[in-house]
Amino acid sequence: QVQLVESGGGLVQTGGSLRLSCVAATRTLSSYHMGWFRQPPGKEREFVASISWSGTYQYYADSVKGRFAISRDNARSTVYLQLNSLKAEDTAVYYCAAEWGKSRDRPPRFSNWGRGTQVTVSS
């Protein structure tokens, strides 16, 4: 189990940007595939992006490709999600997730979750 704490959410206008951070309470973040998910109001939680243990491979939902970017700093035990060109439909609680493993492939599920950070995009 690894504890995850997200930050960086807030209120932003359409077209604006935010940078979310996820700090993991582990010195071995390099052993985990990391991901970001979101849950819009009244909807199911959905995949946003994930990144392999080394940062070499990134995966994105079609709805955010070209606008969001995931990155990681294993030395700082931190994963980032840069959100650009934000739209009203990006409004959601954003969750950080971690799954142990050094496969290049996105894991089928994530076992460790943070509590989320709210992102609200106003028009």
Return d(Cα 76, Cα 46) in angstroms, integer: 26
Q: Could you report the per-residue pLDDT of 22-59, keeping only the tens digit for each? A: 999 988 899 999 999 999 999 999 999 999 999 999 99
The count of residues in the chain is 123
Return d(Cα 123, Cα 119) in angstroms, integer: 13
Residues 6+ apart with CB under 8 A from 28: none
Look at residue 118 and give its three-state secondary structure. strand
- 1-5, 10-14, 18-22, 24-28: least confident range: 24-28
For 21, the token pair is: 């951070």
For 25, the token pair is: 């309470």
Kindly state the average pLDDT of the residues 50-72.
97
pLDDT given at position 27: 84
